[in-house]
Each structure stands twice: as C-alpha cells, then as structure tokens.
Structure 1
Amino acid sequence: MENMQNILDLNGKVGLVTGAGQGVGRQIALHLGAHNAGGVIVNDFHLERAEAVAAEIEKAGGKAIPLQGDVSDFESVAQMVNVGNQHFGKIDIIVNNAGNSGANPELVERGVPFWESNPESWDPWLDVNLRGVLNCCRATIPGMVERKEGRIITIMSDAGRVGEQGLEVYSAAKAGAAGLMRSIARSLGRYMITANTVAIAATNTPAITARLEDEEVLRKMLSHYVIRRVGEPSDVANMALFLASDASSWITGQTYPVNGGYSFNL
C-alpha cells in the first residue's frame, strides 16, 4: 500500500504552549513534540514544571525549551516570545492554555455570591483567562503576519459557553477569549493565520484530582455527561494538535467542545 501522509505532522512548525507545566498544557506540549514540531516552548509560571515537561519532550526525541513567564504581564510575555524566537527562529503556533485563577489560587475569593464579591477579586480570573490571551496573541501575531502563516489556539472552559453558577467572572473571561478568537480569525485570515477555541469540561488534571477521589462527587459529576467518564488531557491535546496542523488549514473562528457531551453545540 502506498504510504499515507501523516496529516497531523507539524512539519517543523514551532509551538508555544502556556501553562504547560502540568495537566492539559503538558499533554499538548508532548503531543506537539511527538508530531515533528521544530521546537516546543514550554511555558509555566513555575519554572521547575516547565523544565520537567521540556525534558520529557527531549527524552522522546523532540526539541523543547522551558521558559518561566506570567501571561498576565505583557512584558513577561514579550520577553518569553523574544527568547523563543531567538532559540528556534520563529513561533508558528501559540496555544493559550494558561487559565483557572492564576499562579496563586489559594488567594482567590471563593464561595461568595457575585453580587457580594469584591471587584478586586475579579482580577485573577480576568488577568489570566482574558488578558493573558490578549497578551500572548499580541506578542506572537506580528511574526505570523510577516511569514503569512500561523495557528492560534485558545483552550477555554465550557463555562464560557453555558455559564457556571458561582463562576460568573471566570465564565465571562472565557467567553471573552472565545470572542477574541473569532475577531482575530476575521482579521488574520488574509495572512493564512487561523484562530480557534477548544472548550473543555471536567478533565482529569491536578485541579480536580482530589474531587475525583470522592465516589459520590464523581457519580454526581458524571450524571451530567453523555459519555460517562471524566475527560483526559489527551482528549484535549488531540483536538489542539489537529488545529495546529495543516489538516485544519481551512477552519477558523470556531469553538470546538471537547466535553463528553456535557453540552451540545450547533
């Protein structure tokens, strides 16, 4: 049989994955590294996490560098992008994965109704989930425009599509990031740059590991899913890899739920 082309081969494209020190981001970085990426820039707020993932990629035969950086700080992002460009010569793929409530989740106000919340408590959610995406796009798009090629992928929560009680600001920030992808898609299509969003639901990451150990909590959680299992980081990474590859070159401005049927999309 004639050899079939691997449509998910990245053909030397260089990717930057934010928040890639664990969970979904880690698996996306590993997926890119395993599919002929020219290099993977592994970002995390905690350098030791990024270093561990970069070492995994290199051990498997890929190329990677770890970079500490705070996505909510544009100067930090710009420096990170500059180092990545110096090391690999370009950045073709940006995966905006960093999320949740930032680097210090223990400091975030929780359990307070939105209408009683302190407006200052909104900042961690907005800074990481919306401003962080703005910063990373702003820093990487100029190089993509110059080369007339690029892939922009943002990982969001299904909370941004359906809303989540008690997570009003988080839901708003994620919805804003998806809106940004649609707007960017319209602006950048002429440069052969695509921008898409992956919306995920409960996924087996360190953020929810403790909750999954409670059988009753797990049972109630899964009752909301058509496919009655928790998602795995690889489920999300598979979609991110597809959107990073040439297999998705005529797809832009879309939001893809990877959620086990938690919610449906038209």
Structure 2
Amino acid sequence: MDERTKMFELDGKVALVTGAGQNVGAGIARVLAAQGATVVVNDFHADRAERTAKEIVAAGGAARPLSFDVSDFDAVTAAVADIAAHEGRVDILVNNAGPDGPMTMAPFSEMSADSWGKPFAVNVYGMLNCCKAVIGGMIDRGHGRIVTITSGAGQQGLDIGVSTYAAAKAGQIGFMRHLAAENGPHGITCNTVSLGLVLSDAEASAVQRLVDSIPVRRMGKPEDPGYLIAYLVSDEASWITGQTVAVNGGGLMI
C-alpha cells in the first residue's frame, strides 16, 4: 500500500464529539469515523445524536449516540464514565457544542444582564466540564487530543451585536492555550479551530448572500473543519499544540 494512504489514520481511537447531532458537529463526526475512529456522538437532543450515529454506522463506521448536557458537570462525568465502561477511554475530545436555539444579537448597551450567561454556559463551562472529565485519563495514558471549535468573532471586533458570544469564544482560545502548555509533557495536544461561515441546515438561504465576502466564494461545508481536525488529532500532528487554526475560506486573515 502507498505510504501516503496511511496518514491520519485513527484506527483504534475513541472520539467524543459534542454537539454532533447536526451541522458542523455531524460533519466532524462523519470524517473522524471515516478515518477509523469509534465516535461517541453527543447532542443535547437524543434524536439528533441517534440520527448522526445511524448515518455513520450505515456508511460502515463505528459510532453510538450519547445524549447529555455539556453544561452539567455531573452529567458530563457520568457520560465519560459510561464511555470508559463501553469503549474503554476517550482518546479524542472535540468540544463543538454550542447553545441551543438562535443567538440573541444586540449591542452590548442594549443587553440585559440576565442574557450574558447563555453563551458562556455551553461554550465555556461546557468546554471546561468536558476537558476536566477526560484530562486525567489522558494524563495517565500519556496520550490525548483535544480540539475546541471557536469562531472568528473571538479574534476580532465586530459591530454585529455578538459581543458576549465573542467574549465566550475568546475565552475558549485562551483556555486551550493554557491547557496545551500544562499538558504537552503528558503527550496531550490541545488546539482550537476557528470557524468562518459554515452552511447549516437552517441557514442556507439566509446567509448565501454573504458568499461574495469570502475569497474562495463558497460557504463552508460541515465536513470542512472535520478534515483539519482529523489531522490535528492524528499521530502526524503530535508537534502541533496551543494553536488556533482558521477554517474560513479566507474570510478572516490574521
């Protein structure tokens, strides 16, 4: 077999992908499964997790659904214990889950204080909960891969009413850098993928007009970040950690 076909294989690895019941999360789960990983498909909505897992299995991959709320630390630790009992361990964690429902967009001066917590509950605390639940086992085994999905909104100032969302996304980037520095000696890499405009099931017609602002002149597909993540969690990327890598078609160049 040509040596090039063996790269980025994930055979024997167990991946937990949060928020993988639809859109970007489902695309990531499909790509990791295609590379040989056994994927535990998380979603807050059990039916969505089941749908993605069934799609993967139908395509010849290995997956099972596991519904839990990433913002609930006890639920997360119970889920990781369940994975340990069934799959043995978590080798790969992809923090993709985001808040359920549409984002509230308004200037910060017009936001109520009780609205500030929503973007942090899942984006920040959900990430912290999942990382805490898996990091000890990764340290014990001397190997692990953690990738968190963030947004270009966390890297630039925008006048579109997403300041608190951006603050949560910037927090993800900062945390992952520190996690990478702390755990590099244990064989664990921690990276962040910054997404641009990705075509989702619900948004296709609403955001198509923005295509002209993207240098490659197309929206992202749910699998696009998955291709990068398959590399970042592979053995070939063991010297890449603490980085924020953009997948945005050139929509933001920094």
TMscore range, shorter length: over 0.9
State the number of aligned residues: 253
The answer for the alignment partner of 2:142 in structure 1 is: 148
Q: Once the 2 structures are TM-superposed, how far is the Cα of residue 50 of structure 1 from its aligned partner?
A: 0.4
Equivalences for 1:1-266 in 2 at 5 Å? 2-4=2-4, 6-37=6-37, 39-99=38-98, 102-103=99-100, 105=101, 110-165=104-159, 166-212=161-207, 218-219=208-209, 221-265=210-254
Give the match's secondary structure for 2:6: coil
Q: Match of 2:93, SS?
A: strand
Give me the whole-angstrom Cα distance separating, in 2, the residues matched to 1:234 and 1:249: 22
Given the superposition, is the C-alpha separation of residues 248 and 83 from structure 1 closer, same or farther in structure 2, using an over 3 Å criterion? Answer: same
SS of residue matched to 1:223: helix
Deviation at 1:207, TM superposition (A): 4.7
Post-superposition shift, 1:2? 4.9
SS in 1 for 2:228: helix
Which whole-Å CA distance do the structure 1 matches of 2:2 and 2:250 have between them?
Answer: 37
Distance in 1 (alpha carbons) for counterparts of 2:7 and 2:186: 21
Deviation per CA, 1:83-102: give whole Å up to 9, x if none: 11111001000000012xx2
* Runs of 5+ consecutive residues of structure 1 not aligned to the other structure: 213-217
Larger mean Cα displacement after TM superposition, 28-37 or 14-23? 28-37
| More divergent stretch after superposition (182-191 vs 50-59) | 50-59
Report the CA distance between 1:23 and its aligned residue. 0.5
Question: Once the 2 structures are TM-superposed, how far is the Cα of residue 8 of structure 1 from its aligned partner?
Answer: 1.1
Percent identity of equivalent pairs: 46
User: How far apart are 1:234 and its partner, in Å?
Assistant: 1.5
The 3 A distance-change label for structure 1 pair 207 and 98 is farther
192-201 or 59-68, which deviates more: 59-68
CA shift at 1:224, angstroms? 2.4
Q: Secondary structure at the match of 1:162?
A: coil
The whole-number CA distance in structure 1 between the counterparts of 2:229 and 2:5 is 19
After the TM superposition, which parts of structure 1 deviate over 3 Å for at least 4 consecutive aligned residues? 1-5
Contact (CA 8 Å) 2:84, 2:90: kept in 1 or not?
A: yes
Kindly provide the CA deviation profile for residues 68-121 of structure 1, in whole angstroms up to 9, marking residues without a partner as x. 11111111111111111111001000000012xx22x25x6x343212211111
Distance (whole Å) between structure 2 residues aligned to residue 179 and residue 260 of structure 1: 23
Q: Partners in 2 of 1:93 and 1:180 — Cα distance?
A: 17
Q: For residues 177-206 of structure 1, what are the alpha-carbon distances to aligned partners after superposition, in whole Å with 9 as ceiling and x for unaligned?
A: 011110000000000100000001110113
Alpha-carbon distance between aligned partners in 1 of 2:107 and 2:43, rounded to the nearest angstrom: 31
What is the alpha-carbon distance in structure 2 between the residues aligned to residue 52 and residue 7 of structure 1?
29
Q: Normalized against structure 2, the TM-score is what?
A: 0.95
CA contact (8 A) 2:107 2:163 kept: no
- What's the CA shift for 1:5? 5.0
Q: Write the distance in 2 (CA, Å) between the matches of 1:12 and 1:163.
A: 42
TM-score, with length taken from structure 1: 0.91
